[in-house]
């Protein structure tokens, strides 16, 4: 794990928690252009983009930018995987990547997490959060816990 990069991500999230950018954070989307059919969107983001921890990682560490039409574009490969790029930047192994970027309850083939993912208390708190700022606050606490446990939880 790259602790300095995890700390940069943490500072990035903390800066946006009480700003309009908090509406961009959504664990269900990697860095997708916002559209009306998206689920779990509490408030339409100004930047027309929904991004999870992986999406926020590539933004925080300068590996991507937000397209004028919404969505993230990786500098290394515009059609590359945001999750893989974020995992490389944070130097996460496959298990750590799943624990940080996915929820335990995601069981469909696209998001299969094999029982690993956010600890239930964080996932539950995220789902109960009623504002973008509160959701981002849960993600910040999740990230702090991940760092504290050296990626084991």
How far apart are alpha carbons 99 and 146 in whole angstroms? 8
pLDDT at 117: 87
Q: Is residue 113 over pLDDT 70? A: no
Provide the 10 A C-beta neighbour count for residue 96. 18
% of the chain residues with pLDDT over 70: 93
pLDDT at 109: 44
Q: Is residue 107 over pLDDT 90? A: no
């Amino acid at each position: 794990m790259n602790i300095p990069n995890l700390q940069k991500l943490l500072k990035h999230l903390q800066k946006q928690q009480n700003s309009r950018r908090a509406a961009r954070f959504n664990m269900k989307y990697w860095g997708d252009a916002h559209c009306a059919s998206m689920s779990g969107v509490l408030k339409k983001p100004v930047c027309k983009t929904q991004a999870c921890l992986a999406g926020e990682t590539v933004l925080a560490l300068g590996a991507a930018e937000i397209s004028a039409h919404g969505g993230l574009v990786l500098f290394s490969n515009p059609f590359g995987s945001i999750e893989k790029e974020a995992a490389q930047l944070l130097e996460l192994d496959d298990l750590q990547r799943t624990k940080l970027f996915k929820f335990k309850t995601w069981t469909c083939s696209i998001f299969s997490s094999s029982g690993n993912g956010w600890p239930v208390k964080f996932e539950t708190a995220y789902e109960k959060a009623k504002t973008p700022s509160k959701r981002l606050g849960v993600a910040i606490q999740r990230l702090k816990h991940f760092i504290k446990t050296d990626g084991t939880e």
